[in-house]
Amino acid sequence: QVQLVESGGDSVQAGDSLRLSCAASGRTFSHYLMGWFRQAPGKEREFVATISLNGDSTYYTDSGKGRFTISRDNTKNTAYLQMNSLKPEDTAVYFCAARRPIYSSRDYRTNPGEYAYWGQGTQVTVSS
């Protein structure tokens, strides 16, 4: 198992940038697919971005593509989400999540049900 702690959330103005961090415990961080999800009040948790075990592949939702960048440093057991050109509709609690590379009949990259380990979340608020 792995424990995850997010940080970096803040209240910002539209057009500003933030970098979220996800610190993972344990010595097997590189064994997990890492993802970022977000959830606004009254909304379902939605996919934001994911990165492969060694960082050589990334995938983004259309709303974040071109503005968001996911990365990881396996030597530091940390994943990141760089968010630029923030919009009010980006306001949400942002969660990092980890997934073991096991079989799934659905799209394991984007479905929150495929991730077994979650952080507590960090609040991002974007004002216009």
* Structure token pair of residue 11: 């209240």
Q: What is the pLDDT of residues 22-40, one digit of tens each?
A: 999 976 899 999 999 999 9
Q: What distance in Å separates the CA atoms of residue 50 and residue 34, rounded to the nearest whole number?
A: 6
Q: What is the CA radius of gyration of the chain?
A: 14
Task: Give 71: exposed, middle or buried? Use CB within 10 Å, 0-12, 13-18, 19+.
Answer: middle
Nearest alpha carbon to residue 97 among 7, 19, 10, 24: 24
Predicted confidence at residue 120, as pLDDT, reads 97
pLDDT value, residue 105: 81
Six-digit token string for 22: 């996800």
How confident is the model at residue 63, as a pLDDT? 86
What is residue 27's predicted lDDT score, i.e. its pLDDT? 67
State residue 73's pLDDT score: 96
**pLDDT at 70 exceeding the cut of 70:** yes
What is the pLDDT at residue 104? 85
